[in-house]
Chain A
Amino acid sequence: MAASEEASRPFAGLSDVSISEDIPVEGDISVPVGPSRRDDEFSTLDEPVKDTIMRDLRAVGNKFIHVLYPKRSSALLRDWDLWGPLLLCVTLALLLQGGAADHEDQGGPQFAEVFVIVWFGSIIITLNSKLLGGTISFFQSLCVLGYCIMPLTVAMVVCRIVLVISSGRVVFAVRLAVVTASFGWSTFASTAFLADSQPPNRKALVVYPVFLFYFVIAWMILTYSPQQ
């Protein structure tokens, strides 16, 4: 009794508050079973494995298409992933194997050398653009640089196919044209994505290392000479 009186005193000032009839004051006091319902929306534990793999593959394929038709879109930057660059780097390194080498170290780049050049080159270019004041994040930049190797990988496939046929001067001219075109395409695609994130008076300072990077990769592809 005394407790209820004491309890009612804090609310004493509210005794003259009234709520009009036409404002509906009703609701459900029971707490909804929240966690499990939210989990059903975001949890991917229960879906079949095929769905999981297809989702990632679709994301990777989507980015490949973005590289093929480069336009300034933020989709590539927002949802970065490194599956595509890894796939491209491994493919390129494998295709560059088996070059002419009767002396151990006279041949083309080894698998590890290609890997080191691609990944450390991308990391250094990313660090360079961040140090110069760029606003792009580290992994986004790695993602863009890795995906834009795709035209060069396609050029490598074309070169190897053409080299199976013959290896004369005409074939060399064809390879040169294909590699040059894909090098220009790669550089153009990556600058289309990266250029916006730089302050305007330093754009050339950021674009030049990208140009050098793809030039070195194009050189490795062009000088691939098959074993005879």
Chain B
Amino acid sequence: MASPNNLQFQEFEEAAELLSADPGASTLSMSGSNTPNTTASAGEDVKLDVSEDEEGQQESSELLGGQKPSGGFWTFEYYQSFFDVDTMQVLDRVKGSVMPQPGRNFIKYYLRSNPDLYGPFWICVTLVFSVVISGNLSTFLAEQKNPTFHYRPQFHRVTIAAVVIFMYAWLVPIGLWGFLTWRQGAERQIGGYSFLETVCVYGYSLFIYIPTSILWIIPYDWLHWTLILIAMAISGSVLVLTFWPVVRDDTKVTAVATVVTIVVLHTLLAVGCKLYFFHAETSPPTALPTTSTLHNHTTLAIKTD
């Protein structure tokens, strides 16, 4: 009596997890509820569900790491499975990206094979607008003492910021995932992350830059660089803690090179945003050759002489 029931129970747990990850499955009568109570009541139906979905699971596990989408990529339900999160889950993941702890792998601990696209997408959009708006405000405050300064909205920066941030948040994970998959060859189940999980961890790791960019409104150079260091430390450690366990089985050189590349790219993004969008008091603006800015420089130079 003990062993068959034990095996059965283990099967139910996995299936229950799968089912709670995808409440849109036809066996549940309640829609959108992820509470564990429902899994107990749906015990019998869960078994049927697992057997039906095995074929679909094997096809799609490559991209999604175990999450089963329902339907082909041309159906709406396929994309709905990427948005299968509640408010509390999103807030938990954001909290995990802001406070990384050495034992916790972001993907294993917070995502738990339910990666979502809601977080990465809206964090990127918010970051674009927060960087542009804060940069605008910071320029305005820094040039307050200049009587010839005329305020400009500088709306073209939205396009530039959007292109840069979205390219970083999508192309770098593609490259990293491709590289890691190539290095592991056929041993994907052992350590690899799916593409969606990589995109997810990169998206959530960008969250710390939103409050950082808001704090960059205060126009002191030393404050900017301190904030950059703190933000990069937190964000970089989330990424390093996530990817180190996967990479450390490789040769020493490759492992270190991969981690260093991740950190360097992250640094480039932060420093690039800071230099282009934010001009503190002491540093001269580097990228906006308007006549009024040049005029400001000549007046400043005259004043200091």
Contacts and interface: CB of A to CB of B under 8 A. Distances in A.
B129 interface: yes
B29 interface: no
Interface in A118-135: 128, 130-133
Contacts of B85: 202, 205
A186 to B, nearest CB: 17
B122 A209 contact: yes
B32 A202 contact: yes
Given A106-B290, A131-B79, A132-B83, A205 B90 contact: yes
A139 interface: no
Contacts of B136: 223
Contacts of A209: 122, 125
Nearest to A222: B153
Q: Which of B82, B83, B292 has the most CB of A within 10 A?
A: B83
Q: Which of A106, A108, A113, A228 has the most CB of B within 10 A?
A: A106
A185 interface: no
Contacts, number: 84
A225 B153 contact: yes
A215 B82 CA distance: 26
Given A209-B122, A219-B133, A109 B32 contact: no
Nearest to A203: B87
B32 A133 contact: yes
B243 to A, nearest CB: 28
A225 B126 CA distance: 24
B252 interface: no
Interface residues of B, number: 33
A42 B83 CA distance: 43
Interface in B97-154: 118, 122, 125-126, 129, 133, 136, 150-154
Nearest to A208: B122
A204 to B, nearest CB: 4
B31 A133 contact: yes
A133 B77 CA distance: 10
B155 A109 contact: yes
A70 interface: no
Nearest to B23: A133
A105 interface: yes
A199 interface: yes
Contact of A100 (B76, B83, B152, B291): B152
A101 B151 CA distance: 10
B275 to A, nearest CB: 18
B151 A202 contact: no
B32 A106 contact: no
A102 B155 contact: no
Interface string B55-94: 0000000000000000000001001101101111010000
A45 B103 CA distance: 73
A108 B155 contact: yes
A73 interface: no
A103 interface: yes
Nearest to A204: B87
A223 B129 CA distance: 14
A201 to B, nearest CB: 4
A101 to B, nearest CB: 7
B118 A205 contact: yes
Contacts of B151: 100, 223, 225
**What 4 A-B pairs come out closest when comparing CB atoms?**
A199-B32, A105-B156, A131-B83, A223-B153
Interface of A: 99-103, 105-110, 113, 128, 130-133, 199, 201-205, 208-209, 212, 215-216, 219-220, 223-225, 228
22 contacts: A100-B150, A102-B291, A102-B292, A103-B152, A105-B156, A106-B152, A106-B290, A108-B153, A113-B155, A128-B118, A130-B76, A131-B80, A133-B31, A133-B80, A201-B33, A202-B86, A202-B87, A204-B87, A205-B87, A220-B153, A225-B151, A225-B153
